[in-house]
Structure 1
Amino acid sequence: MTKTSMEPISTSGPTFDQISAAIKAWLGANNDFLCHFLAQEENWLLINRDLNGRVRLVLPDHIQDSTERGHWDELAAKLMGQLGPHGHPDNTAILFETDLEHARHGASCYPMNGFTNAWMADRLATEANWTHITPETKGATRVVFFSIKGGVGRSTALAATAWHLAQAGKRVLVLDLDLESPGLSSALLPPERQPMYGITDWLVEDLVDNSDAVFDSMIAMSPLSHDGEIHVAPAHGAAHGEYLAKLGRVWMPKLLAGGTREGWTVRLSRMLDKLETRIRPDIVLIDSRSGIDEIASACITELGANLILLFALEGEQTWNGYRMLFEQWLRAGVAQQIRERLQVVGATVPELDRIEYLSGLREHAYEVFVDTLYDELAPVKLGRRLDGSWKVGELSEGWSFDEADDNAPHAPWAVHWHRSFAGLRSLQGRLAVIDAQELQSIFNPLLEGVHNIIPTEKLS
């Protein structure tokens, strides 16, 4: 019989996407033994997936010479047999460590559902860690502007938001963390106001303990400041220098005394803390790089953001991207730590058929949220308080929303496309002459939403 192009091609074993299912099946088949083993305080299990996608077990060191060792060898051999090329040979299928934290160090870890003290550790080639959610900051409000795809008007919306907040008398700190495609600073600073250095300079100099040499010259105040102030930390300075060479080093961990390493996301957080100490802003607006990479991971999960704006165009690419991200949080058991900070923004809503467009955007956003982040219960009408927290109805025992709820995170804050912002050579020049009424006609839901996230004591 001749094979057709529609017939599956045989393989020698399961693929990467089938690893998790094989592990869950193995856990289920050995549930009684594992529950008894893990119920003992000194015991734990780490299922380690290495950089090549191969899996092995890591167990406490005292198991190595115990009477249980033989049974563990048998269990490991069964799992490795199910994993095929994604397993390790029998004689290397188990590692022994004295300390769980040491065994988990440097990995993206999440608990195995249904088991106490059982963890999955994923070793990644990059430091992007979407499953480590830093608690919300208690200092200045931090708002991240993020999109799955570029070209959605995210940076323009951020600049307009900074303008609006400054009009209201707020002190605003803006960070251009779209390091691989910088440009936000030109939207808020004319050429003569550009600072000498930028964020890339600080991150590179910090590697050799020389960040103080650039810190005082990496921030500039925008002439759009009005009654408040807009302080801008650009991706690079007025003279960008060897920018590509610097960009290739910003992700580097810093070697500390004693041989320990400080990851680049920790260094980034330290830089932001230092900027906030200097500027003392009411709010920090962070322009994240689009896509699912290290910068986006740091901005969304590592900087303690209070509000994460998910810019969205109506289309399959947008919702497939957000679904992948939400599913990762769901699998890792961290969805509850971040979902209340999310808000969809309808980007560049077209002039024609706006109601129909926003209706489709809401519908597809709801489908993704209800499949991943919302709890499975009858939705109730909730709303966001002025301090940014969500009001929960008395009858609610979970976190869910009706599709038609305008206060839900899936209900898009509309940003309307406007010809006056299309193809601009100088956004800074456009903002210099725009009036508040015109800006609100384009960005009003976004402007109000961000303004309301600032705690009440900072609004007085």
Structure 2
Amino acid sequence: MNKVRFQDALNKAIQFIKENDALLSQKPIIIRDIYGCINVILQCKKNRNHKALADQLFKSLGSFAYSADSIFVYPEDLFAIDSLINSPDKIKIPETNPAIYLLDRQVTGQDWLRQPIQDEHPPRATLFGIKGGVGRSTALAIWAWDLAKQGKKVLVVDLDLESPGIGQILLPQEQLPDFGVVDWLVEEAVGQADDSLLRDMVATSPLAETAEGVIRVVTAAGSKEQDYIAKLSRVYMDINQNGEILDFAHRLAQLLQQLEAQEKPDIVLLDSRAGIHDIAAIAVTRLTDMAFLFAINTPQTWQAYRYLFSHWQKWNINLAAFRENLKIVAGMVPELGREDYISRCRESAYDLFLDTIYEETTAEELDRFNFAPGDNSAPHFPVEVLWNITFQEFNPQSEDYFRINRAQLSACYGNFLQTATQLVLGEYSS
């Protein structure tokens, strides 16, 4: 007998339910556990006629099936079954009528499909790269400086907890705050994330000393750090807060809200870690007003983004809530053949969006989410950051760094700075 592979099991379960919908309950919920094994909640009483169906489904799913005796789950089987039936992570499987639902019990990655967190906050922007080494943190530091030059109060938060960096770019070691994001998360879990801790988490970057504005920085770790790995291993958990379970995304949202209330910034810049990780999912889709997706024009970069975009496309959950807030950034554009490189990058980005999250349109459907290839306002249309050897050893803390490199900075980052500021704040002054 041929083995059933992970990517086939769910489709087999969906097809089985479609074929037998008259014999099963309304609104069945497929549960796929952390191993990929499948059983189905039937919202009805146990029925002896279901036994033969259970045997059939068990055999069709191979190693990704629960036993025939437990592949169907009924309300009377579980005390807390309402928490499964009403789970916020339950999603309707597209193109199923009658409706079939999926509850995917993943260890990581569920935040890519969860609702954006709705709260009042100053403008926020997230800088993200599906792969590292694309110049994301350098661009953030230069953008923060440019905003401060325009008189803005900028709050920079390092959410790249697995590989901190923006704090060390913007702050000399001797000026780091005492504590960082990981401290707040571990202290909050035991009820000690107070105002004193919050004040000791923020420091002023000397980068903007001569600017009209200011750059305030929240680092991942503080100057008093002695056991970062031990803290990091504990920060991602959900906690019980006054009888309410608070997930990691809402914990980060609380941290940002408290920092914003304390600092009162004009704009908040979030430095997200690279890769398909929960904290990136939260920063890109749940906490921000605009996500800048950094890319270099290599097959591995676009394939990595395609994995993510295809996941959005497949389930199409909450996609409309954030897809207009995406913008591709072509990072580290080479000095030679720039126009051709940018053109190829734009073509690759357009193919990605067209194949995944752009919608097919007709002449009558002008409100569909789609853009022309050459529309520079489109999410796929890259805003470029040009590579220059001047920025190879980026050290904005060196004396008069920006005065020496002002011309190169404007040439390499000018378009990004203007576009990013306009998209997030709706304004730009040189």
1:30 positional shift: 3.0
Of 346, 355, 358 in structure 2, the residue corresponding to residue 371 of structure 1 is 355
**Residue aligned with 2:229, SS:** helix
Distance (Å, rounded) in 2 between the aligned partners of 1:100 and 1:119: 15
Counterparts of residues 124-135 of structure 1 (less than 5 Å): 124-126=106-108, 128-134=110-116
**2:286 is the alignment partner of 1:336:** no
Partner of 1:24: 14
Deviations 1:271-301 (A, max 9, x none): 0111111111121110111001122122112
Contact between 2:418 and 2:428, CA under 8 Å: does it hold in 1?
Answer: no
1:277-292 matches, cutoff 5 A: 277-292=261-276
Cα shift readout 1:327-373 (whole Å, capped 9, x = no counterpart): 11112222322211111000100000001111111111111110100
Q: Which amino acid letter does the alignment assign opposite residue 95 of structure 1?
A: V
Contact 2:155 2:216 in 1 (8 A): yes
Sequence identity percentage: 34
Q: 2:207·2:396 contact (CA, 8 Å) conserved in 1?
A: no
Q: Secondary structure at the match of 1:92?
A: coil
After superposition, the Cα gap between the structure-2 partners of 1:126 and 1:336, relative to the gap in structure 1 and judged at 3 Å, is same
Cα displacement (A) at 1:14: 0.8
1:452 CA displacement: 1.0
Contact 1:55/1:88 (<8 A) preserved: yes
Please state if 1:237 is matched with 2:222. Answer: yes
2:416 — aligned with what?
Answer: 446
Query: What residue number does 1:411 align with?
Result: 381
Please state how far the C-alpha of 1:268 moved relative to its aligned partner: 1.1
Question: Secondary structure of 1:286's partner?
Answer: strand
> Contact 1:173–1:231 at 8 Å: present in 2 too?
yes
Q: Is the 8 A contact 2:124 2:267 kept in 1?
A: yes
Moved more, 106-115 or 157-166: 106-115
Alignment: residue pair count: 420
**1:16 corresponds to which letter in structure 2?**
F
CA offsets 1:143-170 (integer angstroms, 9 cap, x no match): 1111111111100000011111111111
Q: 8 Å contact 1:48–1:121 — kept in the other structure?
A: yes
Partner of 2:138: 156
Q: 2:8 corresponds to which letter in structure 1? A: Q
Amino acid at match of 1:339: R
Q: 1:169-216 CA deviation, whole Å, 9 max, x = no partner?
A: 111110111111111112111223211111111111111111115211
Equivalent residue for 1:15? 5
**Equivalence for 2:68:** 90
5+ long unaligned stretches in structure 2? none
Q: Distance in 2 between matches of 1:458 and 1:345?
A: 18
- Matches for 1:111-190 after TM superposition, within 5 Å: 111-113=92-94, 114-115=96-97, 117-126=99-108, 128-134=110-116, 138-190=120-172
Q: 2:36 aligns with which of 50, 53, 78?
A: 53
Stretch of structure 1 that moved more, 449-458 or 172-181? 449-458
Q: Any conservation in 2 of the 1:343–1:412 contact (CA below 8 Å)? A: yes
Q: How far apart in 2 are the matches of 1:421 and 1:27?
A: 57
State the partner residue of 1:356.
340
Partner of 1:296: 280
8 A contact 2:289–2:424 mirrored in 1? no
Distance 1:166 1:56, change over 3 A: same
Alpha-carbon shift at residue 52 of structure 1 (Å): 1.5
Secondary structure at the residue paired with 1:298?
Answer: helix
Q: Which residue does 1:396 correspond to in 2?
A: 366
2:292 touches 2:328 (CA, 8 Å); kept in 1? yes
- CA gap 1:401/1:454 in 2 versus in 1, 3 angstroms: closer
8 Å CA contact 1:282–1:458 kept in 2: the answer is no
TM-score by length of 2: 0.90
One-letter amino acid of the structure 2 residue matched with residue 308 of structure 1: A
2:403 to 433, 445, 459: 433
Q: Residues 110 and 120 of structure 1 are in contact (CA less than 8 Å); yes or no, is this contact kept in structure 2? A: yes
The alignment status of 1:271 with 2:261, answered yes or no, reads no
CA deviation after TM superposition for structure 1 residue 403, in Å: 1.4
TM superposition shift of 1:85: 1.0
For 2:126, the aligned partner's letter is: V
Deviations 1:52-105 (A, max 9, x none): 111001123xx225xxx2344443433222111111111111122378751157
Distance 1:123 1:414 in 2: 39
Closer/same/farther in 2, CA of residues 221 and 256 from structure 1, 3 Å limit: same
Change (3 A) 1:84 1:312: same
Shift of 1:24: 3.1
- TM-superposed deviation, 1:409: 1.0
Alpha-carbon distance in 1 for matches of 2:349, 2:207:
34
**SS, match of residue 83 in structure 2:** helix
TM-score normalised to structure 1 length: 0.85
Distance apart, 1:428 and its partner CA: 2.8
Distance change >3 Å, CA 431–CA 208, structure 1 → 2:
farther
1:311 and 2:289 matched: no
Distance 1:302 1:434 in 2: 39
Are 1:219 and 1:233, in contact at CA under 8 Å, matched by a contact in 2?
yes
- The alpha-carbon distance between structure 1 residues 318 and 133, as it changes in their structure 2 partners (threshold 3 A), is farther
Secondary structure of 2:113's aligned partner: coil
- Counterpart Cα distance in 2 of 1:458 and 1:448: 6
Whether contact under 8 Å (1:224, 1:432) holds in the other structure is: no
Letter of the aligned partner of 1:175 in structure 2? Answer: V
Are the structure 2 counterparts of residues 365 and 255 from structure 1 closer, same or farther at C-alpha, using a change threshold of 3 Å? same
Partner amino acid, structure 2, of 1:230: I
One-letter amino acid of the structure 2 residue matched with residue 47 of structure 1: I
Q: Once superposed, what is the RMSD of the aligned Cα atoms?
A: 2.5
- Separation of aligned partners in 1, 2:334 and 2:100: 49
Consecutive unaligned residues of structure 1, counting only runs of 5 or more, are 1-10, 39-43, 380-393
The amino acid across from 1:325 in the alignment is L
Q: Does the CA-based 8 Å contact 1:344-1:412 persist in structure 2? A: yes
Whole-Å separation in 2 of the counterparts to 1:418 and 1:136: 40
